[in-house]
Structure 1
């Protein structure tokens, strides 16, 4: 992405897991990739390697670190691993399907669906996820060359919280950011007032934005 002006942060969700298929709430449970998830990571890594990233940073959960490893293998970069990039800790909800959560924790589940700040399963608030993830990302981004690219491999919920905080959305608006598909990514770049969201839930190489008036 050299030559596009300024540093870029590419936030890449991990590949498919068995619990994704079963629609179980993973949180910080350490679930591996499926064979399809490995294939997703390999396909995406071939695309992302073409961007010649300068650094790779990953959650320490295996579904993320194994996804990051596919890009590292193609680029020769090492992977920096940080627990601050883990998915939201969801306590008693982890391992349960939505139907099971709704049956066991109906009030919490209803509040979450309404978009209220909830400690899901008596776990973390979304703001607490951003509190731990964003400093990790920003510290790594600050070390990039002027036109450098950082790839951050993390989890759908954690990425949404990080993006919301970094682009300055009000905390009650973070849910307006659509969910990331497995092994898709979002791109942040420099704007006049800080980071801005350039691409979201992408699965192909980013294209230059022509005639950008923002």
Structure 2
């Protein structure tokens, strides 16, 4: 029997391609850093795969690395991109532009507290819950416009995607860190189940395979 309240929509949350700061392990936050040539190539490859899933809409962070990534998918699908400031990466204040080693050296206690799951304003910036407060509604607003069975591609940033997934799955913020990070130009897939959104794929770089078994 079909659940009358279930629309079988799908949300693909796609991280941008590689940047120079990614290679240097610098905390980007909402600093506007462009894709490297490698990152642009990653986006072109991933776009061809994602286009085969027949997306209905694309919404992206307005930072250039996400916008350029989204542009590759728009080029092969003909879809227009909606840009949303709410999908930007976490603002991390004084951490932005620092390497991982510099953050550990200068803000070791703050970093450790964050990794323990404590609410921390990294570098005086946003809390992870505040990122989810601005990003998740953007995703849901665009998902609500989908037809039944439709697919939305959200092009954003690793931290923002993790907090958004945690919020949409109804996880306590303490457990968001249990969702591992996304590699450049990889994505996660949420599907609409009988009890709400569920995580179907995480940090994927190939096309989803059907789930064949008792948990389908």
TM-score surpassing 0.5? yes
Q: Does 1:79 align with 2:81?
A: yes
Where does residue 143 of structure 1 map in the other structure?
Answer: 145
Q: List aligned pairs for 1:29-68, cutoff 5 A.
A: 29-68=31-70
CA displacement 1:129-166 (0-9 Å, x = unmatched): 00000000000000001010000000000000000000
Where does residue 109 of structure 2 map in the other structure?
Answer: 107
Where does residue 8 of structure 1 map in the other structure?
Answer: 10
Alpha-carbon distance between aligned partners in 2 of 1:213 and 1:67, rounded to the nearest angstrom = 33
Per the normalisation by structure 1, the TM-score is 0.96
Per the normalisation by structure 2, the TM-score is 0.95
Are the counterparts in 1 of residues 8 and 193 from structure 2 also a CA contact under 8 Å? no
> Which portions of structure 1, spanning 4 or more consecutive aligned residues, are displaced by more than 6 angstroms?
none
Q: 1:155 aligns with which of 151, 154, 157?
A: 157
Number of residue equivalences: 210
Alpha-carbon distance between aligned partners in 2 of 1:16 and 1:42, rounded to the nearest angstrom = 12
Cα distance, 1:212 vs structure 2: 4.1
Alpha-carbon distance between aligned partners in 1 of 2:87 and 2:106, rounded to the nearest angstrom = 28
Alpha-carbon distance between aligned partners in 2 of 1:213 and 1:14, rounded to the nearest angstrom = 31
| SS of aligned partner of 2:33 | coil
Question: More displaced, 18-27 or 191-200?
Answer: 191-200
Q: 1:167 aligns with which of 169, 183, 188?
A: 169
Where does residue 131 of structure 1 map in the other structure?
Answer: 133
Q: Which runs of 5+ in 2 are unaligned?
A: 1-6
Where does residue 178 of structure 1 map in the other structure?
Answer: 180
Where does residue 90 of structure 2 map in the other structure?
Answer: 88
